[in-house]
Structures are given as C-alpha cells and as structure tokens.
Amino acid sequence: MEILWSGDVNSDEWTAALNAFCDTYEDPTASFVWKDDQKRESCNKIWTKLQTCKDPLTPDTLTCLRAVKILLRGRDAVDCILSLDAFAVYVHLAETTDSTVANEALKCAINSVYARPDFIELLLSSQLYDRLFKLAQMAQLVDFHLLVWRCLLATFENARAIVYIQETLRGLECILPTISYCIRFEPQRFPTDTKRIALVTELLKALYVLASTWQTTTELPSHITKLTDDAMALLSSILAFPNRPTLFNLKSNAVNLLLMVHHPAWMERFEAHDGVEHLIAFVEYAIMKIRVEKSKSTQVLTPAVIAMHHVVKANRDGFRKVKLAIFHDDDDEVIAPKDPLNKLPMNPPPLTKGSLHESFCSFMTSTDTELKRCVSEFLYTLCRSNATEFTMRTGMGNAVALLRLKGFV
C-alpha cells in the first residue's frame, strides 16, 4: 500500500492501489495499521483525488468515497476528510442521481458526524444541516433514506439538532408520510421486506427522540397536536401487522414510542384506531417468546407493560379493554374487603396456564426486578388501586412486595 502515500494520484498504479485498498478493507471488521504520517499523506491524496472527480462523476468517485469511508472508521490523521468542506462534498454527492455514489457518500457523512457533537454544532450553524435534512424528502430508494435517517439520528447527540428538526424543519411532517408510504404501499409485502422494515425502525427511533422533547409538557405545540390522529393511526397499523420474528424489533420500537406519547388526547386516538387490541396481542406474543420459546429476555416485555400502564391510566375505554383481556371481566364495582389482607389466600384463583393473568402473576416474582416492579404497579392500577382486589386477583404471595412498599402490610 506504500503507493497510496508516495505515488502520483493521476497514475494507473495509484488508482490500482486504491482499488486494492478498498477491496481489502471494505469489511467493517477489517483493520489496518499505518503510521500517522503515512495515513495523513494517503488521506490528503485521496481527498485531492475526490475533489477532482466530484463534478462530473467518474469511476474514481465511488472508489475515493469507499476509501474515505474506511479511513473515517478512525479519527487520527484524517483531519481533511473530517472538515466542513469535506461534509459539503459528501452532501453534494448524496444529492446526485447515481444511487450507488449517493449511498456511499452518505456512509461517509455518517462516519464523519458520529460521536462529534461539536462538529454537529458547526453543521447547524451552516446551511449543510438543512441540505442534509432535505435529502430525506428526495425521491430515492429505501436504502438511501435509511442512510439519511441514520445520519440524522447520529446528529441527535447534539441536543440542538433535535430541537432544530422538531421546531424549525418540522421533522414530524416528513417522518410520518415516509412511514405511511413504507407500510401502506403493497402492505402484504411489508412483513418480509427487510429494507422497508429497517427504514421504519429508524424512523420510529427518530420519532422517539423528537417526542422526548415534549414528553413532560402539559400543552403540546399546535403543529404536533394536528398530527395526533395520523401518528396514532400509524402506530396502530404497525402493531397490527402479524406477529413474527422479522417484525419483533420494529414493534418493540413502536411500543417504546408509546412511552413518550401518553398524553390523554394521543391515547384516545390510539384506542380509537384499535391500537389497544394490537398492543395486547403483541404483549401475548412477547410473553410466548419469553416463557415458551425462551428466545427473548424478560427485558423486552418491560416497555410493553409500561405502555399498557399508560393506556389504562389515560383512557377509560383502554382501561376496560385491557382489564377484560387480563382478568376476563371489567367489573367496575370495588371489591369490599371481607377479611384482613393478611388473611387472604397466598395464591391467586385457579388460572389457565399461559394466560395473560397467569403470566403476569408469574412475573410478579421474577428475578428481573424492573419487570417485577412494573407488572405489580400495572396490575395494582388495573385493580383501581384497591389493595383488596389486587391481592385477591394476584394472591398475597405475589402482592406482598408492593403492598409492603405502599404501607398496607
């Protein structure tokens, strides 16, 4: 590889060496060790070559981008390809109609912003961030949009980028239509389309970060409120897809988003779009994966339990549906205590093995303390915070930890 730092960039020999370098180290797990001066000189030559072939595009354009992407895996002695000028070239090439070049340029952009909040601040102070965001509105293939959003997500390490996309660029107005297109264009193919699944998953992650900025506000901005129905319809549609392994991560991200959008108005629209039923079905599927197949850890269930807890606290119809699904009744009458709590049965009433009721009772003694706590609090709310009903439905042996925490025993 010596030719890369000592040769003439316009020679066939140097071009051949560059191609060999790319082919050898394309695999992300591959590594190489150069002295800093060798790496710096090679980087400068590749950068010089890239600038000469960005307009018009040549076969060398793609090769240079591949090399830059590889060099950007490290941050030492590559200053010239970490600069604002370099990022401008990556965005410029991402704007081209050549999808292969555009995708490779985006990979360079991702590597150049990753874990660099100060650099992202410079992008926000220029027009480059706006240009990067506009890539998400281009008519391009799914692969392209996946890379754009991965790059934007990487910029969220700088909190100002989150606010800027939320308030200035109106990010939700771009994200929601993109999700809608992905899941509603030939919907029968979506559950097996790994590229579309990956893109929607990244978009849900972006929504999660954006939603975190107004999670605790009592009054949502008007530009967000008007999107409530569309957003909840999409979340419900995602959860409505058949439960299968290829969609588990996607649905888990949809559930995570519910943790951020639990305002009563949002929960009302989620329930109106049958989201509660779909959430319950996903919880049943997750429990099967945990208890029967043993292919998932208990940690995957905790967010879903918290999401259902938000539903029952925020929406009366949602409360009724969840209670009916778990306890098979929606009795609104408070159970009057007949005996002191410590005289109630240690075990819950006879339960069907694998039912939601039986499964949740089993999780109340789980070694996963976070799940144990969340399930107990959720069932307590579902029992209208009535200690007697809670104990009668779950058994004193399961209920005692929470009852003790709340001062009942």
What is the pLDDT at residue 1? 77
CA 326, CA 310: separation in Å to the nearest integer? 16
pTM higher than 0.85: yes
Other CB atoms within a 10 A radius of the CB of residue 224 amount to 22
- The residues, any chain, with a CB within 8 Å of residue 355's CB and separated by 6 or more, are none
Q: Confirm whether 89 is domain-assigned.
A: no
Report cis status (omega within 30 of 0) of the bond before 187. no
Q: Which helix (H) or strand (E) holds 363?
A: helix 356-363
CA 190, CA 182: separation in Å to the nearest integer? 8
3-state DSSP: the chain helix, strand, coil percent, rounded to 5?
70, 0, 30
**103 to each of 46, 48, 371, how far by Cα in Å?**
18, 21, 41
Phi/psi of residue 349, each to 5°?
Answer: -60, 165
Q: Confirm whether 53 is domain-assigned.
A: no
What is the pLDDT at residue 38? 95
Q: Confirm whether 382 is domain-assigned.
A: yes
Q: Which helix (H) or strand (E) holds 394?
A: helix 387-394
Q: Confirm whether 228 is domain-assigned.
A: no
What is the pLDDT at residue 332? 55
Number of structural domains found in the chain:
1
Q: Confirm whether 161 is domain-assigned.
A: no
Q: Confirm whether 359 is domain-assigned.
A: yes
Closest CA to 155 of 143, 140, 171, 141: 171
CA 385, CA 375: separation in Å to the nearest integer? 13
Which residue range(s) make up the domain with 398? 341-405
Phi/psi of residue 289, each to 5°?
Answer: -65, -35
Q: Confirm whether 201 is domain-assigned.
A: no
Q: Confirm whether 351 is domain-assigned.
A: yes
What is the pLDDT at residue 305? 98
What is the pLDDT at residue 335? 62
The one-letter amino acid code at 116 reads R
What is the pLDDT at residue 263? 86
> What does the pLDDT profile of the chain (409 residues) look like in tens digits?
799 999 999 999 999 999 999 999 999 999 888 999 999 999 999 999 999 999 899 999 999 999 999 999 999 999 999 999 999 999 999 999 999 999 999 999 999 999 999 999 999 999 999 999 999 999 999 999 999 999 999 999 999 999 999 999 999 999 999 999 999 999 999 999 999 999 999 999 999 999 998 877 777 778 888 999 999 999 999 999 999 999 999 999 999 999 998 888 899 999 999 999 999 999 999 999 999 999 999 999 999 999 999 999 999 999 999 999 999 986 655 565 567 777 788 999 999 999 999 999 999 999 999 999 999 999 999 999 999 999 999 999 999 999 999 998 7
The one-letter amino acid code at 271 reads E
What is the pLDDT at residue 367? 96
CA 182, CA 179: separation in Å to the nearest integer? 5
pLDDT in tens, 278-313: 999 999 999 999 999 999 999 999 999 999 999 999
